[in-house]
Chain A
Amino acid sequence: MPKDGGIGTSPKRREDIRFLSGTGRYTDDINLHGQAHAVFVRSDVAHGRLNGIDTEAAAAMPGVIRVFTARDFEGCGGVPCGWQITSRDGSVMQEPKHPILAEGKVRHVGDPIAVVVAETLAQARDAAEAVMPDIEELPAVVDMKAAVAEGSEKVHDDLTSNLCYDWGLVEDNREAVDRAIKDAAHVTTLELVNNRMVANPMEPRVAVGDYAAHSDESTLYTTSQNPHVIRLLMGAFVLNIPEHKLRVVAPDVGGGFGTKIFHYAEEAFCTFAARALKRPVKWTSTRSEAFMSDAHGRDHVTKIELALDAENNFTALRTETYANMGAYLSTFAPSVPTWLHGTLMAGNYKTPLVYVNVKAVFTNTVPVDAYRGAGRPEATYQLERIVDKAARELGVSPIELRRQNFITEFPYQTPVAVEYDTGDYHATMDKLLEITDHAGFEARAEESKRNGKLRGFGIAHYIEACGIAPSNLVGQLGARAGLYESATVRVNATGSLSVMTGSHSHGQGHETTFAQVVAEMIGIDADQIDIVHGDTARTPMGMGTYGSRSIAVGGSAVVRAAEKVINKAKKIAAHLMEASEGDIELKDGQFTVAGTDKSVAWGDVTLAAYVPHNYPLEEIEPGLEETAFYDPANFTYPSGGYGCEVEVDPETGHVEVLGFAAADDFGNVVNPMIVEGQVHGGLAQGIGQALWENCVYDADGQLLSASYMDYAMPRSTDLPMFKVDHSCVTPCTHNPLGVKGCGEAGAIGSPPAVVNAVLDALNRGGHAVDHIDMPLSPARVWAAMEAARANMGAAQPAARAQETAGGRSVGTP
């Protein structure tokens, strides 16, 4: 086996050659013969009654083929939701219809009202301006607490209220938790906001619909993280196209970060319009449209309480969260604040009693769904903030307080339904302190002080659940899908391989890592292996890429399929060498008979499979192609310690990140360089959330941060050189590669580390600030210092009870 290409080595990403040289084929590069262009007319108000739409003038404009409104979709379904949550009282969540185009009401700025399809994009744009919707504006529902108060304006008239569900985990623990908090020696309380994010993938969304009249087949090219899921949702629930007549292709996709998991109205529209018009229809989102139509992320408001006994052991944890759903339920929205969030609230700690309550709320804002980390960053942020706050209140080291409460024995059954298989949290903490040069911190802090700056150090320790998920388990939890993955390994006669995977790569590097895995198993060069993904016509089935599941679930399916291929190949080799199958070994691309010098090459066997002249035809079929479906036995549980060092300018409130270190336990690692890159990207997004990014609505539901003029993206110059380590390894116990997943960790562990560091800096500098809501913009940090000064050190306003869950994620500068 060439050891420069197998598992554990870092060959360069082969797909980057086409991405970086302009030869990638992104969705917007796809232009079909005779294609027409779609432009969406979108609501510019947050909430209003749609009394009519005058399309006459637009329809008469040059080049216009047809103007579509909701009326055209009367025979179709709405955009479906893929997860049903059951409330504490046993009732199922309220699930409003999500029409392709607005019916009767518009419910957020950006809600599509009509679509103009024209010969050229310019003509479609011109005509879109001539579409005249008659909208009677209604008061906008923006503030989550007000939204669920008696008498609130309703986002959906046919629902009983704006409350989607009221969920508890674990309901049976509720009273015990209440009691433990009442009896505790110390209780730390914190109210916080997990700010709303816009995912901002580099490539905006695109959909190209095509229809072949001769075969009655529809094809959709789309920027998706999971083309098979789109085929299922759109075909079965929206357009009534059976799967064998519908192909969905997600080619090179320029980033997703979660927001391209979901099925969107624009995809259904282009597929529908192509059938209706018998010609291809293309839509490419503008960046402005992306801000108001791509599903947003996070937007939770939480009250969390941590109870400790007199020896500082955690005895109970209780949270109450308001989770913004936006105007409609996006595909996986209900699962994010519940099963992807509540189940992680034990964190790394052996807190015996945990109770999580989540109220999901409809508002007149863009739908909110999974964004890198999805639920786990929200859980980690609360926990790692409250532990830090508790340490400050108790006057103990935040590191020691964590260590004292770490789980050390595995498997560990948490009080919130999940069972961690492995981990070693002390090991990652030790590693973190080593790579951050924690011992030298005080000297560096002194140096900063001399320069008039406040230096601070913050840590966070996270656990996450990846590799979603055992299908039977998620079925019980309300998923309307299985969450296995499939793979087909097709060996060609000359020995090269096409590996079809249901995982989709939109930047992750699967074409490199998956090839490494198969190359290692067979002992051939990775160049012989092609990784095929993103096309329902080529891969049997796929649940797609999200939740850091690709290598753990998709990779495991590849391993299983490759094992089947190898087993069959061994049978053929045994036949060729007239040996017993049990004696055949495969190494470095050669089949040998144990204890002899007999061998045949991989290529000889594959050729025999397709030219079966000398072949055991009575026992096995010719050909060498196998498919496997892999359904995981459990989630995987990556964990790690993150450390951040900042300097705060006490005059301006400006925060500079001077150092950031991540010590992760990802189990076994296939390509360390790619893993490092994934962590870097996650850190940039997590630090971005902590310091800069913020999606802000005003009280009228207008999106204030609707462009890069106001939505602050992190840039490379804002970030230090990261120190990333993944030498702490406790392999996953239940998948064949022992892998855990690394795609989201950076975004999960970093926000609390940054916030803890800033608060450490402020408190060391004599500013008694115990919390600031993200993003920690200069203005907010300065305001917090001012407030602390005015209050003579009392809690700053963000922690005051009356201004809490009232949707502080919106409107406040």
Chain B
Amino acid sequence: MYDFDYDRPGTIQDAVASLKAEEAIAFSGGQTLMPTMKQRLAMPSKVVSLMGIEEMKGVRLEGSEVWIGGATTHATVQRELAESYPAMASLAGRIGDPSVRSRGTIGGSVANNDPSACYPAGTLASRGVIVTDRREVPADEFFQGMFMTALEEGEIVTAVKMQVPERAHYAKFIQPASRFPLTAVFVAKFADGVRVAVTGASEMGVFRWHEAEEALSSSFDAGAVEALATPDGTDMISDLHGSGAYRAHLVKVMTKRAVAAA
């Protein structure tokens, strides 16, 4: 690790101000950032921890919408949504291991937008909206490709809002080493339509499988997915854990399983 200054502001306002410093970086659970810094792959001049900001923590249910503070840990989401949004609680409960879940945050996860992260799929499928210190961005516009988001320099994810669907399930097929998704699919059925969000598969990061959404909107059952052609594997990730073709195949299988379990 290189030397850095450390700040732990208590409000969003102070955090935004603190992040104006040159090469300053936001720090939440550190589950992504810490290993990066330890390997000297990042050299921030200043680390601004968001974990002291109470207004960024907690889970609230407001009608059919959930509000999750950006600095809320996976463990808290797992616990708090167990009744009201079990599919999302289950997603949170399958991230990493207990130590990762008790530190990692939803804000860090969506801001990082790892192409194999779980929350981007859950958020996109749940018609999520990313709340920042300055605006609200629909998930559809927020996730812009591998590790790319709509966030501007110094902008903080303060909360994530989601619509609670009628039925939902997250089908995660793990990569054997990292246990991140090799391919995972979040299916969410609302009264007026279905969303199918896929992570781990595409070179473009998280995406919605529109053909499946359409088919499932008219008939919400696994058979409707079975009838679809396997998505094109050309732009899918190909690495030592699986080819693009394999991932494309998994998209279909995991979608089917998510529907069956929803």
- Residues of A whose CB lies within 8 Å of any CB of B are 125-126, 129, 288, 651-652, 654, 691-692, 694, 696, 704-705, 708-713, 777-779, 782-783, 813
Residues on B with C-beta less than 8 A from A779 are: 241-243, 246
Residues on B with C-beta less than 8 A from A813 are: 238-243
Complex: chain A residue closest to B39, CB-CB: A288
Instruction: Knowing A704-B240, A813-B241 are in contact, say whether A777-B178 is a contact too (CB < 8 A).
Output: no
Residues on B with C-beta less than 8 A from A782 are: 246, 249
CB <8 Å contact, A777 and B249:
no
Instruction: Knowing A704-B240, A813-B238, A813-B239 are in contact, say whether A711-B246 is a contact too (CB < 8 A).
Output: no
Kindly list 20 other residue pairs between chains A and B, CB separation below 8 angstroms, not including A654-B173, A710-B177, A779-B246: A125-B40, A126-B2, A288-B39, A691-B176, A692-B177, A696-B240, A704-B239, A708-B178, A709-B177, A711-B177, A777-B241, A777-B242, A778-B182, A779-B242, A779-B243, A783-B246, A813-B238, A813-B239, A813-B242, A813-B243
- Contact among B176, B240, B243 with A783 in the assembled complex (CB-CB below 8 Å): B243
- Complex CA distance for A126 and B176, rounded to whole angstroms: 34
- Complex CA distance for A129 and B40, rounded to whole angstroms: 10
Complex: chain B residue closest to A775, CB-CB: B176
22 A-B contacts, Cβ less than 8 Å apart? A126-B2, A129-B40, A288-B39, A691-B176, A692-B176, A692-B177, A694-B240, A704-B239, A705-B177, A705-B240, A708-B178, A710-B177, A710-B178, A710-B240, A712-B176, A712-B177, A777-B176, A777-B241, A778-B246, A779-B246, A782-B246, A813-B240
In whole Å, how far is A121's beta carbon from the nearest beta carbon of chain B? 11
In whole Å, how far is A473's beta carbon from the nearest beta carbon of chain B? 42
In whole Å, how far is A758's beta carbon from the nearest beta carbon of chain B? 15
Residues on A with C-beta less than 8 A from B246 are: 778-779, 782-783
Does B25 lie at the interface of the complex (its beta carbon under 8 Å from any beta carbon of A)?
no
Kindly state the interface size class of chain B when it binds its partner.
10 to 19
Closest 10 CB pairs of A and B: A712-B177, A779-B242, A712-B176, A709-B178, A813-B240, A779-B246, A651-B253, A692-B176, A710-B177, A696-B240
- Contact among B173, B177, B241 with A652 in the assembled complex (CB-CB below 8 Å): B173
In whole Å, how far is A406's beta carbon from the nearest beta carbon of chain B? 36
Residues on B with C-beta less than 8 A from A713 are: 177
Residues on A with C-beta less than 8 A from B242 are: 777-779, 813
Residues on A with C-beta less than 8 A from B241 are: 710, 777, 779, 813
Does B250 lie at the interface of the complex (its beta carbon under 8 Å from any beta carbon of A)?
yes
- Complex CA distance for A777 and B175, rounded to whole angstroms: 9
In whole Å, how far is B125's beta carbon from the nearest beta carbon of chain A? 21
In whole Å, how far is B116's beta carbon from the nearest beta carbon of chain A? 10
Within 8 A of A (CB), among B210-262: 238-243, 246, 249-250, 253
Q: Of B176, B241, B246, which is in contact with the most chain A CB atoms at under 10 Å from its CB?
A: B176
Complex: chain B residue closest to A777, CB-CB: B176
Residues on B with C-beta less than 8 A from A694 are: 240
Complex: chain A residue closest to B240, CB-CB: A813
Complex: chain B residue closest to A691, CB-CB: B176
- Complex CA distance for A412 and B202, rounded to whole angstroms: 58
Residues on A with C-beta less than 8 A from B40 are: 125, 129
Residues on A with C-beta less than 8 A from B2 are: 126
- Complex CA distance for A705 and B246, rounded to whole angstroms: 20
CB <8 Å contact, A652 and B253:
yes
Residues on B with C-beta less than 8 A from A288 are: 39
In whole Å, how far is B77's beta carbon from the nearest beta carbon of chain A? 22
In whole Å, how far is B117's beta carbon from the nearest beta carbon of chain A? 13
Residues on A with C-beta less than 8 A from B249 are: 782
- Complex CA distance for A708 and B176, rounded to whole angstroms: 10
In whole Å, how far is B210's beta carbon from the nearest beta carbon of chain A? 23
Complex: chain B residue closest to A698, CB-CB: B240
- Complex CA distance for A651 and B177, rounded to whole angstroms: 20
Contact digits for B85-97, partner A, Cβ 8 Å, 1 yes 0 no: 0000000000000
- Complex CA distance for A125 and B246, rounded to whole angstroms: 41
- Complex CA distance for A694 and B175, rounded to whole angstroms: 13
- Complex CA distance for A783 and B233, rounded to whole angstroms: 14
Residues on B with C-beta less than 8 A from A696 are: 240
- Complex CA distance for A725 and B173, rounded to whole angstroms: 35
In whole Å, how far is A594's beta carbon from the nearest beta carbon of chain B? 64
Residues on B with C-beta less than 8 A from A777 are: 176, 241-242
Residues on B with C-beta less than 8 A from A708 are: 177-178
Residues on A with C-beta less than 8 A from B250 are: 652
Within 8 A of A (CB), among B24-76: 39-40
Complex: chain B residue closest to A692, CB-CB: B176
- Complex CA distance for A782 and B245, rounded to whole angstroms: 11
In whole Å, how far is A786's beta carbon from the nearest beta carbon of chain B? 8
In whole Å, how far is B155's beta carbon from the nearest beta carbon of chain A? 28
- Complex CA distance for A677 and B66, rounded to whole angstroms: 49
Complex: chain A residue closest to B176, CB-CB: A712
Residues on A with C-beta less than 8 A from B240 are: 694, 696, 704-705, 710, 813
Residues on B with C-beta less than 8 A from A704 are: 239-240
Residues on B with C-beta less than 8 A from A705 are: 177, 240
In whole Å, how far is A562's beta carbon from the nearest beta carbon of chain B? 47
Within 8 A of A (CB), among B163-177: 173, 176-177
Q: Of A652, A692, A694, which is in contact with the most chain B CB atoms at under 10 Å from its CB?
A: A652
Q: Of A129, A779, A783, which is in contact with the most chain B CB atoms at under 10 Å from its CB?
A: A779
- Complex CA distance for A359 and B144, rounded to whole angstroms: 51
Residues on B with C-beta less than 8 A from A651 are: 253
Complex: chain B residue closest to A288, CB-CB: B39
Residues on B with C-beta less than 8 A from A129 are: 40
In whole Å, how far is A714's beta carbon from the nearest beta carbon of chain B? 9
In whole Å, how far is B227's beta carbon from the nearest beta carbon of chain A? 16
- Complex CA distance for A760 and B240, rounded to whole angstroms: 25
- Complex CA distance for A141 and B239, rounded to whole angstroms: 21
- Complex CA distance for A276 and B174, rounded to whole angstroms: 51
In whole Å, how far is B235's beta carbon from the nearest beta carbon of chain A? 17
Complex: chain A residue closest to B256, CB-CB: A651
Residues on A with C-beta less than 8 A from B239 are: 704, 813
In whole Å, how far is A505's beta carbon from the nearest beta carbon of chain B? 30
- Complex CA distance for A783 and B246, rounded to whole angstroms: 8
- Complex CA distance for A704 and B177, rounded to whole angstroms: 12
- Complex CA distance for A696 and B241, rounded to whole angstroms: 11
Residues on A with C-beta less than 8 A from B182 are: 778
- Complex CA distance for A651 and B225, rounded to whole angstroms: 14
Complex: chain B residue closest to A696, CB-CB: B240
In whole Å, how far is A502's beta carbon from the nearest beta carbon of chain B? 38
- Complex CA distance for A704 and B249, rounded to whole angstroms: 24
- Complex CA distance for A704 and B239, rounded to whole angstroms: 9
Residues on B with C-beta less than 8 A from A711 are: 177
- Complex CA distance for A433 and B186, rounded to whole angstroms: 44
- Complex CA distance for A421 and B110, rounded to whole angstroms: 64
In whole Å, how far is B222's beta carbon from the nearest beta carbon of chain A? 12
Q: Of A691, A705, A708, A813, which is in contact with the most chain B CB atoms at under 10 Å from its CB?
A: A813
Residues on B with C-beta less than 8 A from A712 are: 176-177
- Complex CA distance for A691 and B177, rounded to whole angstroms: 11
In whole Å, how far is A44's beta carbon from the nearest beta carbon of chain B? 13
- Complex CA distance for A704 and B246, rounded to whole angstroms: 19
Residues on B with C-beta less than 8 A from A709 are: 177-178
- Complex CA distance for A709 and B182, rounded to whole angstroms: 12
Q: Of B182, B238, B240, B253, which is in contact with the most chain A CB atoms at under 10 Å from its CB?
A: B240
In whole Å, how far is B178's beta carbon from the nearest beta carbon of chain A? 5
